Amino acid sequence: MTSSKSHFLISAPSSNSGKTTITLALLRALKNRGLEVQPFKCGPDYIDPIHHTTAAGKQSVNLDTFMSSETHVQGIYAKYSSVADVSVMEGVMGLFDGSDKMRGSSADIAQLLAIPVILVINAKSMAYSAAPLLFGFKNFDKRVRVVGVIFNFVSTPSHYRFLKDACTDVGVEALGYLPQNNTLSIPSRHLGLHISAETNYEQIIANLAETLPKTVDLDRLLEVTHRGNQENPDHNSKSDTKLADLKISIARDEAFTFLYQENIKLLSRFGEITWFSPLHDNVLPETDFLYLPGGYPELFAEKLSENTSMRASLKDYCEKGNRTLAECGGMMYLAKNLTDQYGETFPMVGVRDCTTSMQSAKMTLGYRIANWNNIEIRGHEFHYSNLIDNEMQPESIPVTNAKGIETDTKIYRKYNTYASYMHLYWADNEPFIKNLLAIK
């Protein structure tokens, strides 16, 4: 079976150009046309994929060439894009910004998957100077095909005409613009990471999808990013076979949201997954393996603390030596206490011998590599909290950054509970999961 499809990567010269805003607008506008739209996100970000999923009505998928192999990225992209009419990928940072020069950048993924690039340029204080900027991005690396540009923060139609002239002279097609309008922007994130319950994201996305087609030529966008006829691969392979029959419990609610879709796919091959809420449920489900992902426990500290039956259930489970992995926010929840940014302290589960604090918040960010029982595992760290009154004993597992320099990040173990600020990506690492689950 063959089908005609389009695909493209939305990128920019730098962060804060409006990539996410334009991506969400395109996802919903194309969905409104009756198209099956598959969203992707370059890099390790957890928040943008949540917005993508809302806009497209399909689960967004992370693609990262640092945390996984190129073959893994190619396989995931082929699997999901083959059943969509349009595949829309949002880049990370600037087009060529990677962990080490271009390594792991949006450009790296674009050339790996042969995806054409649509640049988003913040034109708020720019007119014909867009020409040399576009020329540089078009010609810097010929393996990366910049086929069009959408301008953001354009003040008037006459402003856009100056920008179109720049595009004509450089040979990059101007596909349209989004006018400057504060009602069309996604609010700032909580300490750089937030999905606010007070913000009506659905309304913002709906407004974007209604506004964008008035000034962006969607038909032409689909034409210049057309990928021709493509065979739909067969995905009914051994990768779907069950490898074990464990009961696996994963926390998921307003406080615990940072999950990689493909991690869960692999984990599901080792048993039946049950989702539970530390905020709303009374006790932990019957389980052989507990996974507490990252999220926003600091925003729900009081409510998490008040759920004493869940806290007691988790403490009992961990102290009996059952296997547990807690990442970042999950580790904060297992600590003795959590101090929020206002200095108020709340009791948590009490398995970890430490308190986590949001006071004197300082961002820690970057890729991480650990050698876990002679198995290399990669991931990402992004948090503002810090450990105080820390009596935890770290495992003798050095954790390095993308350049191989050892970091202050530690992996802690007590009983059979492992905890770290690292968000691990194991979808491409079956030996790690088997080791973690104690499966031969």
CA dist., res. 61 & res. 54, Å (int): 13
Q: How many CB atoms lie within 10 A of CB 341?
A: 16
CA-based nearest residue to 347, from 285, 297, 405, 392:
297
Q: What is the dihedral of CA 225, 229, 234, 239, to 10 degrees?
A: -20
Q: Quick check: 168 and 135 in contact, CB under 8 A?
A: no
Range 239-242, long-range pairs (CB < 8 A, 24+ positions) = 239/269, 240/269, 241/269, 242/269, 242/270, 242/271
Segments in 19-96 forming alpha helices (H): 19-32, 47-56, 70-81
Q: Quick check: 314 and 349 in contact, CB under 8 A?
A: yes
Q: Which of 42, 167, 328, 354 is catalytic?
A: 328
Q: Quick check: 22 and 152 in contact, CB under 8 A?
A: yes
Residue 354: active-site member: no
Q: What is the DSSP letter of 192?
A: G
Taking phi first (over 0 means left), then psi (-120 to 50 degrees means alpha), and beta for anything else, what does residue 384 get? alpha
Q: From the centroid of its chain, how far is CA 402?
A: 18
Tokens read off for 40: 């992707």
CA dist., res. 163 & res. 172, Å (int): 11
Q: Quick check: 81 and 7 in contact, CB under 8 A?
A: yes
CA dist., res. 277 & res. 250, Å (int): 8
Q: Which positions ≥6 away from 164 have C-beta within 8 Å?
A: 174
CA-based nearest residue to 38, from 79, 67, 92:
79
Tokens read off for 55: 């806009």
CA dist., res. 81 & res. 41, Å (int): 13
Residues with active-site annotation:
328
